Structure 1
Amino acid sequence: MTFDQNAFLIILTASLIAISCGLLGVFMMLRKMSMTGDAISHAVLPGIVIGFFVSGSQRGLEVIIGAGILGIIATLVIDWLRQKARVQLDASIGITFTLLFAIGIILINLLAYKVDLDQECVLYGEIAYLPIDLWISDSGFNFGPRITYLAVLNVTLVVAFITLLFKELSLTSFDENFSTVIGLPTKGINLALMSMVSYTTVSSFEAVGAILVVALLVVPPATAFLWTKKLMPLIQLTSALGIFIAITGYYCAYLVDSSIAGMMVAVSGVLFLGTVIIKGKKSNFTFELPWKKSRLALEDKTL
């Protein structure tokens, strides 16, 4: 079998994106905020439209910055509705993303009706185009696929972020009220996590599409959670499942000549359903802090 460079680059990039999304998804799942990623994927549309008009390009840095700012605004609105207005989390997510998404569509209809910019082209990507989306310098040197470099940057930032704030993220995910009592800046940590989720999801949309990003943010952590109840193994297994989904999804799509991103989502769904059938029943979540030997049981807090 000859080495297929394009296949390798697609699988590598998808694996890196799966790892970065999955690592953040673990802490989102523990906070019962997994679907915030889906809300962000719709809420950033106004920021994308504004960034497009500033830069004149769908791939400009201004587009990512605009989308990232809207993602942070969306998370702040969700948190405000949940904390101050006493709205349930699922309702606050639904209200926020539908409102901002509608504003984005209105902006497109009012300002971009003569431009090739719509909600589909700015929210959905195709990883199969990665080998032809190259980073070429002014001198003509070809550095390779642009999205691959972005995926490397994303996973580096996510790993560094989790490493630096690991204890804080763990404690605030375990018990936010207790973290506040012992003096941790819980609101700042939540904002930092939401900001990283916003950046990672938005920057990955163009490569693999919003649907696959949301799936990688939710399904691998949920699947890993059925196999282990310890934090560090949960993180490691989530990363491994993300890589498995990327590899299996690509070759299944190749065999049936189908969408690569769609097949990866399908593989993740089949993997989760298979795990549910094998494991069968839910158990209470035991949260083990890796720097202590004791295990803290979260009674009546199953996910």
Structure 2
Amino acid sequence: MSYTGWIILTASLVGLSCSLIGVFLILRKMAMMADAISHTVLLGIVVAFLVTRELSGPHMLIGAVIAGLITALLVQWLYQLEIEQHASIGIVFTTLFALGVILISTSVGNAHLDVQHALMGEITFIPWETITLPLIGNVPEATALLAIVLIIILISIIAFYKEWKLTSFDPALAASLGIPVVLMHYLFMSLVSITTVASFDAVGAIMVVAMLITPAASAYLWTDKLSVMLVLSGIFGVISAVTGYIIAARIDTSISASMAFATGIIFLISFISSPKHGLVSKYTRPSISSLR
């Protein structure tokens, strides 16, 4: 595959993985949690580096996932202390992200860990860091990792579809039916953390947040059916990745930022033209009084 092909494929895997997880974030009214975890994983990555002094390996993933779970635990703890959830998220993610930034500037030294890279990523470097897979050959390491994460997400959604649906729409009913709501919550937070970490190095925090939230929010405007929303969100994520790359290539700018911008364009189109919730349909739909 060509250099450009690997970049587009990697970005599409990010868009697909994040947009599927993002559907449940939207339905659970936890959109800000995506922003929180996408920033606090930086602390887990930095701590993993300080412990091992290596910039690659499974310890980075483990450290970042632990940071994501700690974020979810702290937010839930503050919420149980009767602090509003959005305030709890803001307190936790700003504190932990700031701690990660402080550790980078004071303890990391000459290692290639910087805040700019954390925010914007560097997807153009992805094709150069390869691994050899049986029957496939050389594949970018990030692409292989994202493919594995996507498979895990698909298996989790298919295997626990009923549980995800019930716990997202009516946690009380799910608990009364014997579904372990708390366990499903932290399993979901683990999936969010894994997806965020796998995408983090390639595309940075900004695109991760955009892909987690905006395609799902766009899909929510088009349908009220969960299965359709999942499909639409995945399609919007892939379209955003491809469109964003085309924009970046045309005007010679940041690829990740252009992809995030593309998610906004898709949302704007959906917000205006979706048949049920769009602005056009609201203004053109006959009112009840006019039908009398």
Same fold (TM over 0.5): yes
| CA deviations over 1:168-187 (Å, ceiling 9, x no partner) | 01000011122112221100
TM-score (norm 1): 0.85
**Corresponding residue number in structure 1 for 2:104:** 108
Unaligned runs of 5+ in 1: 284-303
Report the CA distance shift for 1:224/1:250 in structure 2 as closer, same or farther (over 3 A).
same
Residues in 1 aligned to 2:238 and 2:198: alpha-carbon distance in whole angstroms = 19
Residues in 1 aligned to 2:240 and 2:118: alpha-carbon distance in whole angstroms = 24
Matched-pair contact (CA < 8 Å) for 1:46–1:104: yes
Report the CA distance shift for 1:220/1:55 in structure 2 as closer, same or farther (over 3 A).
same
Determine helix, strand or coil for the equivalent of 2:139.
Answer: strand
Query: 54-63 or 191-200, which moves further after superposition?
Result: 54-63
**Corresponding residue number in structure 2 for 1:130:** 126
Shift of 1:116: 4.2
| CA deviations over 1:264-295 (Å, ceiling 9, x no partner) | 11111111112212249749xxxxxxxxxxxx
Determine helix, strand or coil for the equivalent of 1:143.
Answer: strand
Matched letter for residue 187 of structure 2: A
Matched-pair contact (CA < 8 Å) for 1:134–1:142: no
1:1-303 alignment, distance < 5 Å: 5-82=2-79, 84-113=80-109, 115-135=111-131, 143-279=138-274, 282=277
Matched-pair contact (CA < 8 Å) for 1:176–1:186: yes
- RMSD across aligned positions (CA): 2.0
Q: Percent sequence identity over matched residues?
A: 42
| CA deviations over 1:171-215 (Å, ceiling 9, x no partner) | 000111221122211000000000110011012111111111110
Residues in 2 aligned to 1:118 and 1:15: alpha-carbon distance in whole angstroms = 25
Residues in 1 aligned to 2:35 and 2:16: alpha-carbon distance in whole angstroms = 17
Report the CA distance shift for 1:229/1:280 in structure 2 as closer, same or farther (over 3 A).
closer
Residues in 1 aligned to 2:228 and 2:67: alpha-carbon distance in whole angstroms = 33
Query: 117-126 or 6-15, which moves further after superposition?
Result: 117-126
Query: 254-263 or 189-198, which moves further after superposition?
Result: 254-263
Shift of 1:117: 3.1
Determine helix, strand or coil for the equivalent of 1:32.
Answer: coil
Number of positions where the alignment pairs a residue of Structure 1 with one of Structure 2: 276
Residues in 2 aligned to 1:113 and 1:5: alpha-carbon distance in whole angstroms = 35
Structure 1 stretches of 4+ moved >6 Å:
none
Residues in 2 aligned to 1:262 and 1:123: alpha-carbon distance in whole angstroms = 10
Unaligned runs of 5+ in 2: 279-292
| CA deviations over 1:85-135 (Å, ceiling 9, x no partner) | 121111010011011112223333442245443333345411122222222
Matched letter for residue 142 of structure 2: I
Matched letter for residue 55 of structure 2: Q
Residues in 1 aligned to 2:275 and 2:40: alpha-carbon distance in whole angstroms = 36
Matched letter for residue 228 of structure 2: P
